[in-house]
Amino acid sequence: MSINTNLWNRIRYSCWAPIYDLIALPTRPMRRRSLTLANLWPGERVLFVGAGTGLDLDFIPVGPTVTATDLTPAMLERLRRHARRLGLAVDARVMDGHALEFADGSFDVVILHYIVAVIPDPVRCLREAVRVLRPGGRVAILDKFAPDDGPLPLWLRLLNPLASLLATNVNRRLRPLLAASGLRVVHREAAALRGFFQIALAVKE
């Protein structure tokens, strides 16, 4: 089976779901920082694409209307339970990030945490995020990215076959993906491991 398919993503993340929160524990500070930069306001309509088990829900301020999608039902079931424990109303739906089932301009903010390096077609995912955003809407991205310029580091080229099989691509470059999406970047920063993890905030013109 190809490692670059949604079917494989559903299979492998169904396997990861029971232990995902433990594995992803080190990402909590990065998630908090990204959502702080997103600057969510009461009344805003916020969409989490590839929301997983709902680890980001811990850092949502009071007031926004939250929708969460993920390809993997096992992940979303854990997200729903987590939302109930937090007392949050979340509209959680199984959905493909390549083809979001929402009307144009449905959201004020789209959160893409740890999906751009995982989904088979990241440009298509980003363009879908743009489509469902209102003009002036914001996109917050957090993920693993290779350096924008120069040859790929040897360690990333060696790591990528195994990483792509188990969980995520580690060879994607953020700048060309953003340029292809039509988003305007307003902030970008290294989040961890000397910039291997990055946060970007962009807006729809």
Asked if residue 2 has pLDDT above 70, the reply is no
Q: What value does the mean pLDDT take over residues 117-136? A: 97
86 contacts 58 by C-beta, under 8 angstroms? yes
pTM: 0.94
What is the C-alpha separation between 161 and 33, in angstroms, rounded? 30
What is the C-alpha separation between 24 and 61, in angstroms, rounded? 21
pLDDT of residue 3: 55
Task: Express each pLDDT in 57-88 by its tens digit.
Answer: 999 999 999 999 999 999 999 999 999 999 99
* DSSP three-state, residue 107: strand
* DSSP three-state, residue 20: helix
Task: Express each pLDDT in 155-198 by its tens digit.
Answer: 989 988 888 888 899 999 999 999 999 999 999 999 999 999 99
Answer yes or no: CATH 1.10.357.10 is held by domain 6-203: no
DSSP letters, 118-159, are TSS-HHHHHHHHHHHEEEEEEEEEEEE-B-SSSSPPHHHHHH
pLDDT of residue 4: 63
Task: Express each pLDDT in 9-59 by its tens digit.
Answer: 888 989 989 999 999 999 999 999 999 999 999 999 999 999 999 999 999
Instruction: Output the CA torsion sign for 116, 87, 95, 22.
Output: positive
CB-CB neighbours of 150 under 10 Å? 7
